[in-house]
Amino acid sequence: VEFEMKKLGKSILLLILVLVFYVGNFIIIKSLNWMENDEEHIFFVNNSIHNSKMKKKFITIDDVREAIMTLNSEKLDHKQLKKFHLFRRQISEEVKSKDVSMLDFSRVPDTWFNGVHVVPNPVDSLGNALDYLASATITKAHATPRIGTQLKILLQLDGNVKALFKPKWYSTNEVIQGEIYSGKDRHTSEILGFYIGLLLGLRRSPLVAGRIVDLSKEILPVASTSLKNTFLKNGTNICFYGVCYYCHRKDLVCGDGSQMEGAVVRWLPASVKIGKFRSPWARTYSKKKKAKWETNPNFCDYYKSNSTYSKWLPDIVDAAIFDFILGNGDRHDMEFAMDYPDAKILLLDNGKGLRNSTKQQIQMFQRNQFSKLLMEISSRDSIQPIATQEQFNAFDRRIAIVIKVINLCHNILIV
């Protein structure tokens, strides 16, 4: 727990920043290393009080740690428990496969998208749409343009559906050292990110399914020349390095023989045009340079008063909570569907694993219910184990932290 707290320190700081930003308070940061020093605090100043009567409230490192220790000892809220069981029945029914033709689901998910969600709530045939990704015949395989930093293959599936295949780089229990955004993408993070979005009521992630492909039978026969030229053999294993910004012949990903595990991520409908803007809380990805949000105590004020950004603030809060729970420290751009007046920020590219409605959704999870339900609905995926027990436990700890911080912010407002 202590290791995780230190590693996710700045993620928790970012979460607190956007939460307090949304409820209308100023933030003054006394120390950016607050997670490593119990003497340092985050200061919250209620801006509705005149300076002569200014009150200061504190969220300390001990407050955050208490979230981990106290949530499961609290008395069960039976109203929330009833709500949880109703939700559990709904979500479990949604991910079930129905007895219909898989080909029906080559196009059905395109009709779901409306700029606000990728998957409607509820939807009857989600399980079949996921099964399609895991089993549809691959008709074409291309190298992606050299614009991304991560290795992936662009697939065309039976029915002319486009998808990305993200290969397995790490075993499930391998710990990636370094910064929270270090290393390659985890294919299982993409899969879990989709299911976490369902549980949080944030149905804005593309459909994802785990799949084991046969590189020699399913990929190479339909591969483009540019992709095929990156394939090599390492002993009895088929390997490739693909085309991307960091892809190199010396950095191969290899299958087990010709079997390659990975995640298939369905593209959004072809008609959707994606707009993007740089996240105000993006990292600099440099230890020598700090971002403005890390150094400017008045950073929040500008974005609260800027009409271009202010309409996105609730979505930024949602994205911060989603990323914190998933452990994704690489959300540098905020992406949305253009030509949709009510569009919300989409949760794309989740490989580096409030509005009031989100708060209510989160608070129904008590005593490790989040991880248990996440484990239950993700068990339908063909890739297992999808995470270790320690990783599932971490999701519950992060839910506890989110609930604690939300309640602390709420208490500050009503004092």
Choose among 390, 399, 327: nearest CA to 172: 390
Nearest to 268 by CA among 206, 209, 345: 206
Ranges of the chain with pLDDT below 50: 1-7, 20-57, 354-355, 414-415
Active site residue 131: no
Give the per-residue pLDDT at 94: 95
Binding residues: 150, 166, 185, 335, 349
pLDDT at position 2: 43
Instruction: Give the pLDDT confidence score for residue 104 in this predicted structure.
Output: 72
**Tens digits of residue pLDDT in 309-355:** 888 888 998 998 999 999 888 888 999 999 999 999 999 876 665 44
pLDDT of 35: 27
Binding residues for Mn(2+): 185, 349
Q: Exposed e or buried b for every residue in 200-222, given b needs 16+ CB within 10 A? A: bbbbbbbbbbbbebebeebbbeb
The Cα–Cα gap between 173 and 81 comes to 32
Tell me the three-class secondary structure of the chain, residue by residue: CHHHHHHCHHHHHHHHHHHHHHHCCEEEECCCCHHHCCCCEEEEECCCCCHHHCCEEEEEHHHHHHHHHHHHHCCCCHHHHHHHHHHHHHHHHHCCCCCCCHHHHCCHHHHHCCCCCCCCCCCCCHHHHHHHHHHCCEEEEEECCCCCCCCCEEEEECCCEEEEEEECCCCCCCCCCCCCCCCCCCHHHHHHHHHHHHHHCCCCCCCEEEEEEEHHHHHHHHECHHHHCCEEEECCEEEECCCCCCCCCCCCEECECCEEEEEEEECCCCCCCEEEEECCCCCCCCCCCCCHHHHCCCHHHHHHHCHHHHCCHHHHHHHHHHHHHHCCCCCCEEEEECCCCCCCCECCCCCCCCCHHHHHHHHCCCCCHHHHHHHHHHCCCCCCCCCCHHHHHHHHHHHHHHHHHHHHHHHHHHC
**pLDDT value at residue 413:** 53
pLDDT at 33: 26
Q: Which residues sit in the known binding site for ATP? A: 150, 166, 335, 349
Of the residues 131, 323, 330, 396, only one is catalytic, namely 330
